[in-house]
């Protein structure tokens, strides 16, 4: 009789009372849902457009041309001897991955309020899927950079000193992903209550690009105070290492990379803790 009445529970819901009570194992259990969100983000982005996935190539090409005219032509900003298309494409591909991931994850609670209010799943799945789906876009745009790189190597006399530091490429991309995820979930936790922060973030991201060596080399900064302020930017060391490995120009520093990595770890920890706390009551304010 006891065996008949015995029930086996597949899901157990327990109260969370601790600030650091984060179930990372549950994230792995919902990996299939994460992959569905990734497919949704990629397909719906250009679903009803004329060019479709070609926008992945059109956007960086048009942006590169604009930078060549404005910053390379009118402003006359040097690119350390590297052809302008290569220099700008290297910075644009990495920066667009960071900015799109940051803007996407910062809207996590607002954009997914309808789903969050009906179905339970680990809320971190949503921002993680945004970062992963933008990673697919980044690799497509990076392929464009490799094609231009191959053309310069095969058909011109331009010497590009690619070196062994290029092997850090996966680490640098992971660091950019971690920073965008950390900042994104931190802002998403704040925008549930203060919606105007989203407008401020969009403006801040635009200014942030000019404080990062995306369209200019760090060697052009001669003012020591401005240079120090730029080195406090966690993206500076990553972008300089990225260009140094692939193009052989820039200021590579293990110290700056260590600072960027440490900043990423602390930011992710703080962001996840605050995100975990806000998700419990966000439906009351969103």
What is the average pLDDT across 59-81?
89
Closest-CA residue to 113 (of 285, 283, 274): 283
Q: What is the pLDDT of residue 57?
A: 83
Least confident interval from 6-15, 25-34, 107-116, 251-260? 6-15
Predicted TM-score (pTM) of the model is 0.87
Residue 243, C-beta contacts closer than 8 angstroms, at least 6 positions apart: 87, 90, 91, 213, 217, 249, 250
Q: What is the pLDDT of residue 282?
A: 57
CB-based burial, 61-94: b 16+ in 10 Å, e otherwise? eebbeebbeebbeeeebebeebbbbbbbbbbbbb
Which two three-digit tokens encode residue 240? 């300089």
Closest-CA residue to 213 (of 182, 263, 252): 252
CB 104 within 8 A of CB 183: no
What is the average pLDDT across 67-95?
91
Which two three-digit tokens encode residue 126? 């949503």
Helices (H), 20-54: 24-29, 31-45
């Amino acid at each position: 009789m006891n065996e008949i009445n015995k029930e086996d529970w597949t899901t157990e819901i327990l109260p969370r009372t601790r600030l650091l009570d984060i179930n990372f194992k549950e994230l792995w259990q919902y990996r299939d849902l994460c992959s569905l969100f990734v497919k949704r983000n990629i397909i719906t982005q250009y679903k009803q457009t004329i060019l479709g996935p070609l926008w992945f190539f059109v956007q960086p090409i048009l942006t590169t041309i604009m930078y060549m005219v404005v910053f390379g032509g009118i402003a006359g900003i040097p690119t350390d001897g590297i052809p302008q298309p290569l220099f700008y494409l290297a910075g644009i591909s990495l920066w667009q991955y960071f900015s799109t991931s940051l803007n996407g994850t910062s809207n996590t609670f607002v954009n997914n309020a309808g789903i969050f209010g009906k179905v339970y799943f680990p809320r971190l799945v949503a921002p993680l899927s945004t970062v992963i789906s933008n990673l697919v876009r980044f690799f497509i745009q990076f392929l464009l950079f490799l094609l231009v790189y191959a053309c310069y190597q095969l058909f011109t006399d331009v010497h590009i000193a690619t070196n062994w530091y290029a092997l850090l490429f996966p680490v640098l991309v992971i660091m950019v992903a971690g920073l965008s995820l950390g900042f994104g979930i931190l802002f998403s936790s704040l925008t549930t209550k203060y919606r105007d922060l989203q407008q401020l973030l969009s403006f801040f991201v635009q200014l942030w690009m000019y404080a990062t060596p995306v369209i200019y080399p760090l060697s052009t900064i001669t003012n020591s105070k401005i240079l120090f302020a730029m080195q406090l930017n966690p993206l500076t060391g990553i972008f300089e290492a990225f260009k140094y490995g692939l193009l052989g120009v820039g200021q590579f520093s293990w110290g700056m990379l260590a600072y960027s990595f440490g900043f990423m770890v602390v930011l992710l920890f703080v962001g996840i803790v605050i995100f975990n706390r806000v998700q419990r009551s966000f439906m009351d304010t969103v």
